[in-house]
Amino acid sequence: MKFDFFNESTPPLIGVDISTSAVKMVELSAHGKGGYRLEGYSIAAIPKDAIVDGNITGLEQVSDAVKLAWKLLGTREKRAALALPSAAVITKKVLMSADLRETEMETQVEAEANQYIPFPLEEVNIDFQVIGPAPNNADEVEVLIAAARKEKIEDRIAAAEDAGLKVTVMDVDAYATEAAYTMTAAQLPNGGKDQTVMIVDIGAVMMHINVLHDNVSVYTREQAFGGAQLTQEIQRRFGLSIEEAEIAKRKGGLPDSYEIEVLQPFMQSLSTEVARALQFFTSSTQYNRADHIVLAGGCAGIATIDVMVQDRTQVNTIVANPFQSMSLSSKIKQQQVSIDAPALMIACGLAMRGVD
């Protein structure tokens, strides 16, 4: 019944992010006082349509990609932390009496869950975490409840276990992003404290927006836009297969006209989408501005995209790099990791769960 979305640490773990277009893995170890060392990472493409709307439709293809990513990572560690897409998880904050024992809380969580989960309870996994004292009442605590359908969890576990991994933690991608953001916040003035920071994670088909104020999430939203649009345009313009287009997008080797005719218009569209997301946020919440924008996801690796987004939004924009202050294993190339880093936010946040 219970599933540990919140269980703090079971060292060591590989962070495994299974997204629409790729499997991304990160392995960290403890380094110095409270620090991390990046031992390795890998990215393996997932064939088109093997994952649709966050659901695994081609189990064997996804499992093969997990297997390849693990092989590329070159580790002996097999324990893994995975994440569910936020859209697959129902979360709710509730208030409970502060003097309840854990077993009493579990009973109350089930009763609460019954009211707002649209599925029979035997079809879901539920977990909860006490966030802290209730804002206006010392006798109560704020509790975050998370629930997800078992089939969503089981599909992801099957893909990882078929590839030989052992899943010990199931997280939620938004929480993993927030964990990795704590490493990225060092790139911001005053570590992002007392400021409103908009994290924009641009995936293959979705843009995930998570706004933190004083380093606490206050707003989330999804917008249909992603890197797959660039891949499709490359495919159409240059007569390539989807796989060839994906490789060309990452490794280069396209005709000179690519920059001006394909990449620049895509970057303009991306900047416009971020500006739209910012406008939605400021017009629908009590916050009338964002102090910083942090770009994550594969598209954040496009050279000068931060400059273009900053010009368009007039908000200080940086590209996420959770590894910036970490020490790197000797096998990792510094230059390559800064290109790949924004796409590894979720995998990094998951791997952090395994370092005590």
Q: What is the pLDDT averaged over residues 72-89?
A: 93
Residue 103: beta bridge partners? Answer: none
This prediction has a pTM of: 0.90
Q: What is the pLDDT averaged over residues 79-100?
A: 91
Q: Name the phi and psi angles at 5, rounded to 5.
A: -65, -25
pLDDT of residue 249: 86
Q: What is the pLDDT averaged over residues 133-139?
A: 87
CA angle 117-89-122, nearest 5°? 45
Q: Tell me the percentage of the chain whose pLDDT exceeds 90.
A: 67
Q: What is the pLDDT averaged over residues 26-47?
A: 91
Residue 57 clears pLDDT 70, i.e. is over it: yes
Weakest mean pLDDT among 71-75, 236-240, 245-249, 265-269: 245-249
Angle, helices 264-284 vs 228-238, to 10°: value is 160
Four-point Cα dihedral 19, 258, 318, 330, nearest 10: 70
d(CA 126, CA 130): 14
Tokens of 29: 């170890």
Tokens of 290: 């964002």
CATH 3.30.1490.300 assigned to 90-150: yes
Q: What is the pLDDT averaged over residues 201-206?
A: 92
The ranges assigned to domains in the chain are 90-150
Q: Name the phi and psi angles at 45, rounded to 5.
A: -70, 145
Q: Tell me the percentage of the chain whose pLDDT exceeds 70.
A: 97
Q: What is the pLDDT of residues 300-356, one digit of tens each?
A: 999 999 999 999 999 999 999 999 989 999 989 888 898 899 999 999 999 998 886
Q: Which helix (H) or strand (E) holds 36?
A: strand 35-45
Q: What is the pLDDT averaged over residues 40-51?
A: 92
Q: Which residue has the tokens 């707003």?
A: 219
Weakest mean pLDDT among 67-76, 191-200, 242-251: 242-251
Q: Name the phi and psi angles at 197, rounded to 5.
A: -120, 125
CB neighbour burial string for 118-128, b if at least 16 within 10 angstroms, e if fewer: eeeeeebbbbb
Residue 5 clears pLDDT 80, i.e. is over it: no
pLDDT of residue 289: 95
pLDDT of residue 1: 44
C-alpha closest to that of 1 among 112, 128, 98, 102: 128
C-alpha closest to that of 88 among 6, 7, 8, 170: 170
Residue 7 clears pLDDT 60, i.e. is over it: no
d(CA 127, CA 320): 29
Residue 82 clears pLDDT 80, i.e. is over it: yes
What 3-state class would DSSP assign to 288?
Answer: coil
